[in-house]
């Protein structure tokens, strides 16, 4: 069994967001991924510009914008000469380019927000919506025919998409924390950081500007480079 062609074609398109919205308008998107329907019209806290479903779709747009035209004339740089964004995203997992799977992760990263929503101290919160979303998606993506390694990639992205926030709150991250991060995303640190970037862009929507993007890409680059250094140092260390 292979995944539905319409979904694969949308995820492979340079205009993925528009293709996915067309599927949604035809009723096909939430027929394939019914858990997304729970986010339609589900309002989020004030910082968010969109409801949950539109935020997920906007994250797909944001990813492609970051990889293409950037924000207000600033484009996404490679984290390092040996860490090229285009080359990394062109790698394949069970025949699917990482870029296509990352778009799917953007589309589904907040899928569990509606069912995890609670009000605490007068504020709406979504505890553990990343792990809950990963659990929801595992069976769904398998049913749709995605290969096991592809399912593992997407669910790891969804499960860990808030992980970079831990680094920001406990700055600077230790080598140990960075190595644990690399382990938990099976080495896919750049895609995870790109998901976090797309999430932030989609959160603010039109209010997201060059200054936000500049800070965000600096953070992304630092984490990806430092994680590579931390893991390389461990690999190079002699056995004790």
Reading the block at residue 164, the tokens are 């970079």
Residues 74 and 209: their CA atoms lie apart, in Å, by 10
- pLDDT tens readout for residues 204-227: 999 999 999 999 999 999 999 999
Q: State the DSSP string of the chain.
A: ----HHHHHHHHSTTHHHHHHHHHHTT-HHHHSGGGGGGTT----TT-SS-HHHHHHHHHHHHHHHHTT-BTTB-PPPSBTTB-HHHHHH-EETTEEHHHHHHHHHHHTTTTHHHH-EEETTEEE-TTHHHHHHHHHHHHHHHHT--HHHHHHHHHHHHHTTHHHHHHHTSSPPHHHHHHHHHHTTT-HHHHHHHHHHHHHHHHGGG--HHHHHHHHHHHHHHHHHHHHHHHHHHHSPP-
Residues 153 and 98: their CA atoms lie apart, in Å, by 9
**Angle formed at CA 19 by CA 17 and CA 23, multiple of 5 degrees:** 115
Beta 96-97 vs 118-120: how paired, if at all? unpaired
Q: Where are the domains of the chain?
A: 5-234
Q: Which has the higher per-residue pLDDT, 13 or 238?
A: 13
- pLDDT tens readout for residues 105-159: 999 999 999 999 999 888 899 999 999 999 999 999 999 999 999 999 999 999 9
Of 40-44, 129-133, 167-171, 221-225, the least confident: 167-171
The answer to whether 97 and 35 have CB atoms below 8 angstroms apart is no
pLDDT grade, residue 240 (50/70/90)?
Answer: very low
Instruction: Determine the straight-line distance between the first and last CA of the chain, rounded to whole angstroms.
Output: 47
């Amino acid at each position: 069994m292979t995944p539905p062609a319409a979904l694969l074609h949308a995820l492979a398109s340079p205009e993925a967001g528009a293709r996915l919205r067309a599927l949604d308008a035809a009723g096909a998107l939430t027929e394939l991924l019914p858990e997304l329907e729970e986010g339609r019209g589900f309002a989020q806290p004030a910082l968010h510009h969109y409801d949950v479903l539109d935020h997920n779709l906007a994250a797909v747009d944001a990813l492609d914008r970051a990889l293409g035209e950037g924000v207000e004339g600033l484009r996404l740089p490679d984290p390092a000469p040996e860490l090229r964004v285009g080359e990394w995203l062109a790698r394949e997992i069970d025949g699917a380019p990482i870029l296509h799977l990352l778009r799917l992760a953007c589309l589904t990263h907040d899928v569990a927000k509606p069912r995890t929503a609670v009000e605490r101290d007068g504020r709406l919160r979504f505890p553990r919506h990343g792990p809950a979303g990963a659990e929801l998606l595992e069976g769904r993506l398998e049913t749709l025919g995605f290969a096991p390694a592809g399912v593992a990639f997407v669910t790891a992205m969804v499960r860990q998409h808030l992980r970079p926030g831990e680094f920001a709150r406990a700055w600077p991250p230790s080598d140990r924390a960075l190595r644990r991060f690399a382990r938990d995303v099976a080495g896919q640190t750049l895609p995870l950081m790109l998901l976090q970037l797309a999430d932030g862009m989609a959160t603010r929507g039109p209010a997201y500007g060059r200054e936000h993007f500049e800070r965000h890409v600096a953070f992304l680059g630092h984490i990806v480079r430092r994680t590579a250094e931390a893991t390389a140092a461990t690999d190079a260390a002699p056995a004790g």
